[in-house]
Amino acid sequence: MQRGDGRGSWPPARTRMTERESEILAWVAAGKSDWAIGRILNISGKTVNFHVENAKRKLGVGTRVQAVIAAMRGDLIGH
């Protein structure tokens, strides 16, 4: 991914994210904390963070915000 002109390289839609990773990134996009997502999905906050970190690695990004943007641009989560 590149900065600046907005024409960076985004992951292709075929990026293999699990259903849970996509679900959690959708909640991250909605502004929920790991704790809140964990309460919603009946899992621990640490498990939520585990899935977020896996999604970030698969998307090739460094932050949660970048993961959400990359997933949206790659049609991996809804807009």
**Strand ranges inside 1-79, DSSP E:** none
- 4 domain residue, yes or no: no
Please write the tens of the pLDDT for every residue from 47-79: 999 999 999 999 999 999 999 999 999 889 887
Residue 29 has pLDDT above 90, yes or no: yes
Tell me the mean pLDDT in the region 35-45. Answer: 98
Task: Report the length, in residues, of the chain.
Answer: 79
Q: Does residue 48 form part of some domain?
A: yes
* Contact yes or no for 38/45 (Cβ under 8 A): yes
Which own/partner pairs from 3-11 qualify as long-range (CB within 8 Å, at least 24 positions apart)?
Answer: 10/70, 10/73, 10/74, 11/58, 11/59, 11/60, 11/70, 11/73, 11/74, 11/76
* Number of structural domains the chain divides into: 1
How far is residue 49 from each of residues 1, 28, 34, measured CA to CA in Å? 22, 10, 6
Parent domain of 53: 19-73
Task: Give percent of the chain above pLDDT 70.
Answer: 81
CATH number of the domain encompassing residue 58: 1.10.10.10
| Within-domain flag for 39 | yes
